[in-house]
Structure 1
Amino acid sequence: MAEGEPDGGGGPDPGDVVIETRGLAKQYRGTLAVDGLDLRVPRGSVFGFLGPNGSGKTTTIRMLMGLIAPTAGSARVLGSPMPQAVRSVLPRVGALIEGPALYGFLSGRDNLLRYDAADPTADPRTRVARVGAALDRVGLSAAAGKRAKAYSLGMKQRLGLAAALLQPRELLVLDEPTNGLDPQGMREIRGLVRGLAADGTTVFLSSHLLDEIEQVCTHAAVMARGRLITQGPVADLSAGALGRLAVTTPDVGDAARILAEHGVRDLTTAGGRVTGELPAEPPDLAELNAALVTAGVRVRGFGLERASLEDTFVALTGEGFDVAG
């Protein structure tokens, strides 16, 4: 059984899973954009859908939201099959996919009023208050009267997110939500996502930014070239890769030589530190430390740095992250 694949029995209770796919696939002109995806998103999680641009993330999200039909396999969202149950599922889902569709000649506030009016479940008596609250939540109150065509890319992203937040949602699906945002804007969106999760909303967040996923998500799945590489709690995914060995010493040249002799690879030296990647069969760290001391290296710090999601991705795929899948 492939890593990350459902075990077929004794899995999570269906009520604890808000998104589940089995063998989900989408083919375009002979090319599999998504290839046999088996995905499970736990209720109450902030789930990071991680992969390089072109890895199949947006295509998967479009199938989950019923925007396109799969070539093969099945998808269930909030317990119902998609796209068959799209009319009953989507009112319970907030989504921002491939950037918001806006009326450029309308203000940000008027765009949201139009969005809300198109929702048959929205109470018109509280529409203005809901729109004001959504604008305030994404930091656009001051620019609410400005025409959307004059918004920056980051402001348009914020407005699209506000549209997804007009009503309480069981599930929030965000496709690259920090696209176009400056560092402060990215920090604010991360805080917003954490707050929504604390209120009980499950957040499904796709990104090609490893740092973003690692900071905000409780669970993650890694995609590459249309296929699922692995999925699970973020802490467990990071633990699956060996961390880098770090040695602090004034004798960086001698330390690098000794480490290389013991199979440590990809060595870098900077600021009185030597770091390197341990081999698949790592040496005993106590013996390696002793070898450094015996060689006259003055060791002031020695240990493994925690593996990051980037380390995990490279370990699983054997390639860097800035690739087009």
Structure 2
Amino acid sequence: MTPDPTGAGNPAPSNPEPMPDGSNVGEVEMPVVTRGLTKRFRGGQVAVDAIDLEVPAGSIFGFLGPNGSGKTTTIRMLLGLITPTSGSVQLLGQPMPKAQLSVLPRVGALVEGPAFYPFWTGQANLLRFDAADRTADPRTRKARAGEALERVGLSNASGKKVRAYSLGMRQRLAIAVALMQRRELLVLDEPTNGLDPQGTREVRHLIRDLAGDGTTIFTSTHLLAEVEQLCTHAAVMSRGRIVRQSTMADLRSELRPRLVVRTPDPQQAEKTLASLGLTDVRRQDDVVDGDPGELPIDKLAAALVAADVRIHAFGLQHPSLEDAFVALTGEGFDVAE
């Protein structure tokens, strides 16, 4: 994640630029909006294919997809780091990159791997990035650096040279750069990359705190566990396209349980369940499963017994979000911590 002191790392101006209707940009309902956003590289490779994103204010928005699905390219276009081939981007209600001078000072952004001066201490790096911020108050710089380091758990390592930092410590230092000023929108590209389980939990807690303070969080990840445990909304990206975008509550509500029966009489079980009204009945070896809908489970069990089906195991199996996302993309996800 490369901190950007020239743009996305600047603080908010005291008088936000008004919208055409007279409201302030900080009041927009959707801090991130894209329409038909597309990026083609030389040779005709389509990295991002006409995506429409809407990120609600105050949300923790998970931008989920396998590695290489186009997440980082999308983020770079959002921040004006690369130019879209076609389509549009609005950040905080303003068109990008046209309004980047007024918008980016209110956005904290960490993109790709951490890049710091290796022979400087963590605190010295933080002070240097803040000094590059033309609107930062130098009188409070050291105090703000200390607070940012404390929030990411690096107070005890603030005087250590960055070359001695682990990858996880560098990730935390990169997040600290974005915390030097108050942000309305925080864009994080794989923020828990390289962190151990304890560090991952700490970053999750930090992101929840920031969202609780009113910051909208847009975070990309290929780790499904991050989305399950952290996010309020999600978009699933696959091969440059968004295949699903909704609240996490809606995604969970659509996961229907399946009845699973293990039996030495799979053919008879399959026939019986289909006759009872189960849909999408499937048989593999000694296991038969199907969608019971609203059918009572106890009556299904009784019907199987009445049909002389011997039952070794019987019950409902609830699909995971991993199952849903793999079904959407046709690809696997890294679901490890």
TM-score of the two chains, using structure 1 as the length reference: 0.83
Q: Which one-letter code corresponds to 1:69 in the other structure? A: T
The equivalent of 1:189 in structure 2 is 203
For residues 289 and 116 of structure 2, what CA distance do their matches in structure 1 show? 47
1:83 corresponds, among 97, 103, 122, to 97
**CA distance in structure 2 between the partners assigned to 1:201 and 1:34 by the alignment:** 26
How far the C-alpha of 1:267 sits from its partner, in A, is: 6.7
What do you get for the CA RMSD once the two structures are aligned?
Answer: 2.6
User: Which runs of 5 or more residues in structure 2 are unaligned?
Assistant: 1-26, 274-279
How far 1:288 moved relative to its partner?
A: 3.7
2:156 aligned with 1:132, yes or no?
no
- Structure-1 separation of matches of 2:101 and 2:285: 55
| Contact 2:29/2:57 (<8 A) preserved | yes
Aligned to 1:3: none
**Residues 242 and 278 of structure 1 are in contact (CA less than 8 Å); yes or no, is this contact kept in structure 2?**
no
Query: Separation in 2 of the partners of 1:104 and 1:268?
Result: 58
Which residue of structure 2 aligns with residue 318 of structure 1?
330
Q: Where does residue 97 of structure 1 map in the other structure?
A: 111
Deviates more, 1:92-101 or 1:21-30: 92-101
CA distance in structure 2 between the aligned counterparts of 1:107 and 1:268, rounded to whole angstroms: 61
- CA shift, 1:283, in A, is 9.3
1:1-325 residue pairs with structure 2 within 5 A? 15-29=28-42, 30-245=44-259, 252-254=262-264, 262=273, 264-265=281-282, 278=290, 284=295, 286=297, 288-294=300-306, 295-297=309-311, 302-305=315-318, 307-321=319-333
Unmatched 5+ residue regions in structure 1? 1-13
Q: 1:117 and 1:208, CA in 2 relative to 1: closer, same or farther beyond 3 A?
A: same
Q: Deviations over 1:23-82 (max 9, x none)?
A: 000001201100001000000000000000000000000000110010000000001111
Pair 288,22 (structure 1): closer, same or farther in 2 beyond 3 Å: same
Q: Is the 8 A contact 1:258 1:291 kept in 2?
A: no
Deviation sequence 1:97-137 (CA, Å, 0-9, x none): 10222111110000000011111121111110100000000
Q: Is the 8 A contact 1:255 1:292 kept in 2?
A: no
Worse overlay, 45-54 or 234-243: 234-243
Is contact 2:257–2:316 with CA below 8 Å preserved after alignment? Answer: no
Moved more, 86-95 or 212-221: 86-95
**Counterpart contact for 2:260–2:289, Cα < 8 Å:** no
Q: Larger Rg: 1 or 2?
A: 2
* Aligned-partner residue type, residue 63 of structure 1: M
Q: Within 2, Cα distance between the matches of 1:256 and 1:196?
A: 53
| Percent of pairs with identical residues | 60
Q: How many Å separate the matches in 1 of 2:285 and 2:221?
A: 28
Contact 2:66 2:332 (C-alpha < 8 Å) held by counterparts: no
SS of residue paired to 1:17: coil
DSSP 3-state at the match of 2:234: strand
Give yes or no for contact 1:289–1:302 (8 Å, CA) kept in 2.
no
CA distance in 2, matches of 1:149, 1:127: 23
Shift in Å, 1:256? 6.9
In 2, the alpha carbon distance for the partners of 1:266 and 1:45 equals: 42
Q: Which amino acid aligns with 1:311?
A: D
Conserved 8 A contact 1:23-1:35: yes
Question: How far apart are 1:289 and its partner, in Å?
Answer: 2.8
How far the C-alpha of 1:277 sits from its partner, in A, is: 6.1
Task: Supply the distance in 2 between the matched residues of 1:234 and 1:136 (Cα, whole angstroms).
Answer: 31
Change (3 A) 1:133 1:303: same
Q: What amino acid is aligned across from residue 198 of structure 1 in structure 2?
A: G
Cα gap change, 1:268/1:162 in structure 2, threshold over 3 Å: closer, same or farther? farther
| Structure 2 counterpart of 1:320, one-letter code | G
